[in-house]
Amino acid sequence: MEHLINPKVKNIQISGIRQFSNYVSQFDHVISLTLGQPDFPTPLPVKEAGIEAIENNHTSYTHNAGLVELRQAASNFLQEKYGLMYQPENEIITTVGASQAINIALKTILEEGAEVILPAPVYPGYEPIIQLCGAKPVFVDTTSTNFILTKEALEEAITDKTRCVILPYPSNPIGVTITKEQLADIASVLENKDIFVLSDEIYSELVYDSQHISIASFPSMRHKTIVINGLSKSHSMTGWRIGFTFAPAYLTEQMLKVHQYNVSCASSISQFAALEALTTSKNSPHAMREAYKKRRDFMYSRLIEMGLEVVEPTGAFYMFPSIQKFGLSSFDFAKRLVEEQRLAVVPGSAFTSFGEGYIRLSYSYSMEMLEEGLNRLEKFVQGL
C-alpha cells in the first residue's frame, strides 16, 4: 500500500536539525547548543492562569479563531509594541503555535506551480509546506549581504509565478534583524505587484539594540501581508502552542476555513494562559531579553577570540559562525565536534545549501553551559 501515499509527502525529508539530533543521541555527556527553545520557565502568573482554566472547567471548544478576549489582547499587544492595528473580530486567528499559523497561511495563498521567495540560509520549516502545496521555494543567497534580503536580489528573483515572499526577521539561524530603511526598499519592489508577504515575526520581542519593525506597518503593504507571531519565544511557552496570524479581513476569512478544518481551535487552556501572557504579563520578555543580550555578548566575544568570523546578532538567540577556513563540510565539522569534544551544534546545511560552511549555535542556555560549550569548541578548532 505504500505506493498509494501522497508522493509530495514521501519526497519531504526529515529536517537536518532532527537528523543531526538523532545522531547526537547516541553519545553520553554531550553539551548541546542546538535547541531554539528558551531555558526560562513560563512566567508563574501564566502557569497559574492555565491551572485556573482547568479548575474552572474551561476545557471545551472556543471560537475557531480563538477567545475573543484573547484576540483583543493580541490586538492591543501589537498596537502597543509595534504600532500595528488589527481588528480582533475579523483580522486575527489564534493558532496552534506559529508553525500552524505558517501552515494555514501558505495553504491559503499557494497553488500548484506558484513560487515563494525566501532569503537563505533560512529556517527549514517553510520549504516542506511550500512543497506540499505544490509550489516551489526560490532561495535567495544572502551570505554576501550580511544575511539580509536586498532590493536588488529580490527584484532578480521575482518571476510571473511569484506568489509570496517570506520575511523571517529576526532571523533563525543567524539572529539578524532588518531595518526600516531595508524594509522600505523591499516594500518599494512589492507594493505594486500582486505578491503576498509572509512576515514571520516570532522573535519580535527578542530584539536587542533597536525596535522591531514590521513590513505591515507600511500602509502600501498591509493589505498583502500576513504577520505571524506567537508566545513560544517571547514568553517561554513553546509547549503551550499558541501562535497568531494577523492579516486583512479578506485573507483572514479564507485562512480561518483552513484553520477550522485543520484543528478546529487552539487549546482552550493554553488560550487562557496566553490571555494572561498578553495582559498583566505582557512585559515578562524584558528580563529574558536582557539575559539573552548578556549571553550574546559573551558568545560573540568568545567566537571572535577563537578567530571565527560571525555576524553579531541583533535579535533572536542564535549565532552562525563561518567554518569555511577549516575545509570541512558543516556536517563533518559538527560530527567531529560531537565525537571529539562532546559538543553538539547544528550544521549550517540544515538551513538550505546556502548554510554550508557555517554552524548554528543557540545561546538559550545558562552561562555555565555556554562557557563550557565554548571551551570545548575552542579546544576543537585549535586542533584543526
Whether residue 14 is predicted with pLDDT greater than 90 in this model: the reply is no
Q: pTM, whole model, 2 decimals?
A: 0.97
Q: What confidence score (pLDDT) does residue 16 get?
A: 79
Examine residue 55 and state whether it is found in any structural domain, yes or no: no
Q: Are residues 77 and 36 in the same domain?
A: no
pLDDT 10s digits, 173-207:
999 999 999 999 999 999 999 999 999 999 999 99
| Domain stops at, among 277, 312, 346 | 277
The CATH number linked to 209 is 3.40.640.10
Find the angle CA(363)-CA(139)-CA(218) to the nearest 5 degrees.
80
Q: Is the Cα dihedral 281, 283, 289, 291 positive or negative?
A: negative
Find the angle CA(94)-CA(95)-CA(97) to the nearest 5 degrees.
125
Of 168, 96, 100, 165, the C-alpha closest to 129 is 100
Whole-angstrom distance, CA of residue 123 vs CA of residue 136: 16
| Domain stops at, among 277, 296, 330 | 277
Number of structural domains found in the chain: 2
| Domain stops at, among 229, 247, 277 | 277
Q: Are residues 232 and 376 in the same domain?
A: no
Examine residue 49 and state whether it is found in any structural domain, yes or no: no
Q: Are residues 75 and 207 in the same domain?
A: yes
Q: What confidence score (pLDDT) does residue 25 get?
A: 86
Q: Are residues 28 and 135 in the same domain?
A: no
Average pLDDT over residues 36-44: 96
Q: Are residues 135 and 157 in the same domain?
A: yes
Q: What confidence score (pLDDT) does residue 21 get?
A: 80
Percent of the chain at pLDDT > 90 equals 95
Average pLDDT over residues 294-316: 98
Q: Which helix (H) or strand (E) holds 200?
A: strand 196-200
Average pLDDT over residues 156-160: 98
Whether residue 17 is predicted with pLDDT greater than 90 in this model: the reply is no
Whole-angstrom distance, CA of residue 158 vs CA of residue 181: 20
Q: Are residues 151 and 270 in the same domain?
A: yes
Beta strands in 301-344 (DSSP E): 318-319, 343-344
Cell of 245: 496570524
Average pLDDT over residues 326-335: 97
Examine residue 53 and state whether it is found in any structural domain, yes or no: no
The whole domain housing 183 covers 60-277
Helix, strand or coil, per DSSP, at residue 95: strand
Examine residue 200 and state whether it is found in any structural domain, yes or no: yes
The CATH number linked to 334 is 3.90.1150.10
Of 161, 159, 177, 171, the C-alpha closest to 120 is 171
Whether residue 18 is predicted with pLDDT greater than 90 in this model: the reply is no
Examine residue 51 and state whether it is found in any structural domain, yes or no: no
CB-count exposure of residue 85 (10 Å: 0-12, 13-18, 19+): middle
Whole-angstrom distance, CA of residue 178 vs CA of residue 156: 20
Examine residue 52 and state whether it is found in any structural domain, yes or no: no
Cis peptide leading into residue 347 (ω within 30°) = no
Q: What confidence score (pLDDT) does residue 23 get?
A: 86
Q: Are residues 243 and 165 in the same domain?
A: yes
Q: Which of 14-18, 44-48, 156-160, 208-212 has the lowest mean pLDDT?
A: 14-18
Examine residue 242 and state whether it is found in any structural domain, yes or no: yes
Q: Are residues 223 and 304 in the same domain?
A: no
Q: Are residues 124 and 225 in the same domain?
A: yes
Q: Are residues 273 and 288 in the same domain?
A: no
Q: What is the phi/psi pair of residue 383, to 5°? A: -90, -5
Q: Within a 10 A sphere around the Cβ of 53, how many other Cβ atoms?
A: 20
Q: Are residues 265 and 357 in the same domain?
A: no
Q: Which residues pair with 315 in a beta bridge?
A: 207
Q: What confidence score (pLDDT) does residue 117 get?
A: 99
Q: Are residues 196 and 328 in the same domain?
A: no
Examine residue 54 and state whether it is found in any structural domain, yes or no: no
Of 354, 356, 332, 291, the C-alpha closest to 122 is 354
Whether residue 13 is predicted with pLDDT greater than 90 in this model: the reply is no
Q: What confidence score (pLDDT) does residue 147 get?
A: 98
Q: What confidence score (pLDDT) does residue 124 get?
A: 95
Whether residue 136 is predicted with pLDDT greater than 90 in this model: the reply is yes
